[in-house]
Structure 1
Amino acid sequence: MTNFAAERDAMVQRQIESRGIRDPSILEAFRAVPREDFLSQEYRDLAYGDHPLPIEAGQTISQPYIVALMIKAADIKCGDRVLEVGAGSGYAAAVISRIAGEVIAIERQSELVAIARERMRRLGYDNVRIVEADGTRGWQPDAPYDAILAAASGSHVPPQWVEQLADGGRIVMPVGEPNWVQKLIKVTKGPAGKLIHEELGAVRFVPLIGEEGWSDG
């Protein structure tokens, strides 16, 4: 039988801490969340590999290091309200919830919404709410957000996200063409609403689908 707790500890050390992400709150969040419980049975034994994995509805669960990198870039703190676009399996939202005060995770796929909601209930992540909507439009009812993270790549930063961001808030998202290498960027809402852009490196994500994203098919 796989010793998931030991594999989880090894993953945190080898894939996250050894690559320079040493914030204790981030490391502890990854140690606290059982990634295997966010995968179907056939992929559970691969839960702590250094790679993305398939999930339901033809989507993927991101590589642990990339999730950690985005959380670090977003500078998420205790008490923050965070919007995650592209909830998928719910794994990243669960990790974020161990740091932030509240997580609103948007997912457009009904199948994934139902699965992620069940996981949150079963695992006790009561500060995570999964909503079914077009994530490219953000989620106005709970705005403003201290941070917005996107698990899919768009052509631009949706203007609704900027509007729903608190002063000093951060957006972390990949930008670029589907099925190609993209850029991970950080956008900070500075004084008087001025946007400060940073590039964080090359990544590959599924396309961001929706009104302010790519068309579906």
Structure 2
Amino acid sequence: MDFEHARFNMIEQQIRPWDVLDPDVLNALRSVKRELFVLPEHQALAFGEVQLPIGCGQSMLEPKVEAKALQAIGVKSGDSILEIGTGSGYMAALLAVRGEWVRSVEIEPQLVRFAVDNLARNEIDNVIVEEGDGLAGLPARAPYDVIMVSGAVREISQAWLDQLKTGGRLFAFVGTAPVMKGQLVQNLGDGQFRSSTVFETLVPYLRTAQAPSFAF
């Protein structure tokens, strides 16, 4: 299979039509080898407009959904980043292209190993994957410029908001089936937050994200 041709088609036929035009995002999609973050038996589907199973009941999100979320959160050079729900490690790799460093938290030991191996194969050395329940965030390294939640939650965790710098951004998939909202939350300072819906979609929940914790 010609992966470079498939990658080009993914960007031109799926990503750009969804109004993902940020050059930094498109460059990240070109440079991170998506086919190396899927299970070997799914490599031929790596660039398809589908969610791909990665084990433990979790799935890799559609390329356009990942790209839209990445564009919304606007990673800048030097950003400190927390990701909740590492999965295959692909989103962590995309975040790492522009950010200074990424800490990614994954509750499933099998997926921790999968992501670490995938990141090593891609020679990405500014991501650290930690095993744990991401609903608590990672307070030891807080505060963060960016928090990316790479799975659905019913409501946004107060712990995440507490770990976000003033001026920082958080992106999460919030709600219940059949339609969830891709929400961008900005910390305005003094305990004030601004939330906006970027797009609507449907993605798998984080494993422990069933109970409500905070609502705007």
Query: Where in structure 2 are the equivalents of 1:94-109 lying within 5 Å?
Result: 94-109=93-108
Gaps of 5+ in 2: 212-216
Query: Residues of 2 paired with 1:140 and 1:13: CA distance?
Result: 39
* Distance (whole Å) between structure 1 residues aligned to residue 48 and residue 120 of structure 2: 26
| Structure 1 residue 214 corresponds to structure 2 residue 210 | yes
Provide the rounded CA distance (Å) in 2 between the counterparts of 1:153 and 1:11: 24
8 Å CA contact 1:86–1:152 kept in 2: the answer is: yes
For residues 111 and 70 of structure 1, the distance between their equivalents in structure 2, rounded to whole angstroms, comes to 25
> Match of 2:113?
114
Please name the residue that 2:77 is paired with. 78
Taking the aligned partners of 2:178 and 2:138, their CA distance within structure 1 comes to 28
Superposed structure 1 runs of 4+ greater than 3 Å apart: none
1:37 is matched with 36
Counterpart in the other structure of 2:55: 56
Which residue pairs with 2:21 in the alignment?
22
1:209 Cα offset (Å): 2.9
**2:118 match: secondary structure:** helix
CA offsets 1:57-108 (integer angstroms, 9 cap, x no match): 2210011111111111111111111111111001111111112111111110
How far apart are residue 19 of structure 1 and its match?
A: 2.3
TM-score between both structures, scaled by the size of structure 2: 0.93
Question: Equivalent residue for 2:184?
Answer: 186
Contact 2:33 2:122 in 1 (8 A): no
SS in structure 1 of the partner of residue 56 of structure 2? helix
1:50 Cα deviation from its structure 2 partner = 1.5
Distance, in Å, in 2 between the alignment partners of 1:64 and 1:99 is 18
The alpha-carbon deviation at position 127 of structure 1 amounts to 0.4
2:214 corresponds to: none
Task: Say if 2:103 and 2:130, in contact at 8 Å, map to a contact too.
Answer: yes
> C-alpha root-mean-square deviation of aligned residues, in Å?
1.3
Q: What is the alpha-carbon distance in structure 2 between the residues aligned to residue 127 and residue 16 of structure 1?
A: 25
CA distance in 2, matches of 1:21, 1:122: 27
- Structure 2 match to 1:197: 195
Preserved contact between residue 52 and residue 61 of structure 1 (Cα < 8 Å): yes
For 2:155 and 2:17, locate their aligned partners in 1 and report how far apart those are by CA, in whole Å: 32
Identical pairs, percent: 33
> Which amino acid letter does the alignment assign opposite residue 55 of structure 2?
E
How many Å separate the matches in 2 of 1:86 and 1:5? 27
**Contact 1:167 1:193 (8 Å CA) reproduced:** no
1:141 matched to 2:140? The reply is yes
Q: How far did residue 176 of structure 1 move?
A: 1.1
The structure with the greater share of residues assigned to strand is 2
Q: Could you say which residue in structure 2 is the equivalent of 1:92?
A: 91
**18 and 180 in structure 1: CA distance in 2 versus 1, 3 angstrom threshold:** closer
